[in-house]
Structure 1
């Protein structure tokens, strides 16, 4: 079946996805969800060596590779490389996450491919960058979380470093790469030329440290673990009501006054221990104990309503099942349905950005490995007899 765009926004672009695992496939999923014709190139089944995120039938793989077409090509065979180059000649974008030297060895680096396709936008995602002392190291999400500083500020004070519960370095590197691709495509409209775009897990992680980087670079202050409490805005963090935990965020003196009034403690506004930000920082533990003591008299739902009506940000701490029971999540329509010919009806989370005129949807369930090989190669003009010869030689 020909390309089924998930949106009209990017349907004019063709993307060749040479990636594995998560960061690269995430970048390509972003483009596919906005309508690009993303063609995922994998090794043939008989010689598969790529990590398929728990297997093709796993929920992780199904979520990551929707809206794509899949072909197989044996890139260890000259004819496989030759066929890939023919495919790339029809493309706007190539995305790869080989180790930096592999693309040069295969002859599919940017400089080589741009000779025949000068408008090509070529995106590389790596663990540590394309050059430098660590460029050849294998990249892994948790390694980047540690090296980028995230684990040093995550967790309870004194308990040692803690990783976050999602592969945030992988995901951010993929999303930033997709953003870079879109910027390069926009620039191409002026110059007519493509370019090499590259990002890495380490760069993404350092960038995502955001205000924590400013504390080091501008203030010469090394951030420490603050557990569930905001390091500089107090009181902001996790608090316990009668029936469980919730988040409360108090930013600024006016919000602090409202918070005290709602909690029935207006005297805290003038209390020397709590009356300003510096005092609350010194007496954080005592203040948090007092807050929890008062919160224990009512359930979370009561406090969430009271605080929000009073202009103080407050929300439940949901498990993942409860997330999808939230009325606002349901209203936003974040869960999309698609039918897989292999697995039947599926529910997957859609894009978190809404374009009113050219919305994103899930038009195609995740394909099986090589499901569209003959279809795509036929689009390149490869005759059926040649397809069978290539198949017999193990080229796909």
Structure 2
């Protein structure tokens, strides 16, 4: 997911993203997930590949490599998401491509980075969460290990790579030269472990799972009302006092176990017992309304059906409708950052495999005869894509 997510973000911001895919096979996420829509591509592929165009190129074929080098010659950025060593074997590594285009910003995203004793290990989001400590603090004490269901290492690596790419593009404006960017799932998951590393270095104690609670303040977690759970975040003395007022427990302010944040964290379990005794008197919705009225952060816990249809998601355009040449109207997540002067747009739906091969090669100056010659040499596989019909 990391490379496709990174390039989708760049495409959303206006980059012309060309997705280079293996002829007849394509990105493996075209076949992922346990459900299909109308066409051959999965919902997961559609979710990660808007604002891209697809070309089929066989990088193991000399003619295919020739076509790829032609694309690289005037490209601004290349992103590859393979295990270290694969790009060199394919002759598309940074050293090779830099000789063709010194201005190229080349980003490699891998499981563990390009160096170190674990560099050649297979890298998945699950593996990164396991080997960075993230899984060790997920869930509740004395339960089986769990991972963050949202793939934070995969998607976070895509975010960090995009951040590195944009920084390098700015740097190229000053130096005239591109550079190599080395991003990894491992360093992403570790880099996001801000509170956990601070706790370990500050106390010498290894962090443990604490459920929905927070390591830096209490109460700051899910609590149970008469009908369901909801969340509260009384993260400073003012909010703590307001919370005690809402639940009519002024005595908690004087309780020696809870007089400051350090003590409330230390005595979190008994504190939540005291609060849930009061919360059991009313519904979650009633408590959320009362707490918000008092200025205390509180919220219901939504499932995805509720979250995606919420008035805030609607107001912030977080559900987009995109027309796809096979699927028809599809839904996609909206842009998570809004730009006032150059707002993001959906210019392309997720592409069909090889949909834009002839179109893109024509744009870089290849004649139809030259493209056909490369095709006859096996550069793009054996099947010609009907781009007019696909478009």
- Tell me the TM-score normalized by structure 1: 0.91
Name the counterpart of 2:214: 230
Name the counterpart of 1:112: 96
Residue among 145, 150, 154 paired with 1:166: 150
Within 5 Å, give how 1:322-341 maps onto structure 2.
322-341=306-325
Q: Distance in 2 between matches of 1:48 and 1:115?
A: 27
Q: Secondary structure at the match of 1:346?
A: strand
Name the counterpart of 2:186: 202
Name the counterpart of 2:8: 29
Compute the displacement of 1:393 (Å): 3.4
Q: Distance in 1 between matches of 2:297 and 2:278?
A: 17
Q: Relative to structure 2, which stretch is displaced further, 121-130 or 277-286?
A: 277-286
Compute the displacement of 1:259 (Å): 0.5
Q: Could you say if the C-alpha distance between residues 300 and 361 of structure 1 is closer, same or farther in structure 2, counting changes exceeding 3 Å? A: farther
Q: Secondary structure at the match of 1:39?
A: strand
Task: Say whether 1:346 aligns with 2:325.
Answer: no
Name the counterpart of 1:98: 82
Per-residue CA distance 1:163-189 (angstroms, 9 max, x = gap):
011111000001100110000000111
> Number of paired residues?
374
Q: Distance in 1 between matches of 2:355 and 2:189?
A: 35
Q: Distance in 1 between matches of 2:146 and 2:336?
A: 27
Contact 2:219 2:233 (C-alpha < 8 Å) held by counterparts? yes
Name the counterpart of 2:385: none
Compute the displacement of 1:331 (Å): 1.1
Within 5 Å, give how 1:129-278 maps onto structure 2.
129-278=113-262
Q: RMSD in angstroms over aligned alpha carbons? A: 1.6
Residue among 375, 382, 385 paired with 2:359: 375
Task: Say whether 1:357 aligns with 2:336.
Answer: no
Compute the displacement of 1:300 (Å): 1.8
Q: Distance in 1 between matches of 2:258 and 2:348?
A: 56
Compute the displacement of 1:278 (Å): 4.0
Contact 1:141 1:167 (C-alpha < 8 Å) held by counterparts? yes
Q: Could you say if the C-alpha distance between residues 261 and 341 of structure 1 is closer, same or farther in structure 2, counting changes exceeding 3 Å? A: same
Contact 2:195 2:215 (C-alpha < 8 Å) held by counterparts? no
Q: Distance in 1 between matches of 2:9 and 2:140?
A: 34
Q: Distance in 2 between matches of 1:390 and 1:180?
A: 34
Name the counterpart of 2:386: none
Q: Relative to structure 2, which stretch is displaced further, 116-125 or 325-334?
A: 325-334
Contact 1:121 1:197 (C-alpha < 8 Å) held by counterparts? yes
Stretches of structure 1 that go unaligned for 5 or more consecutive residues are 1-21
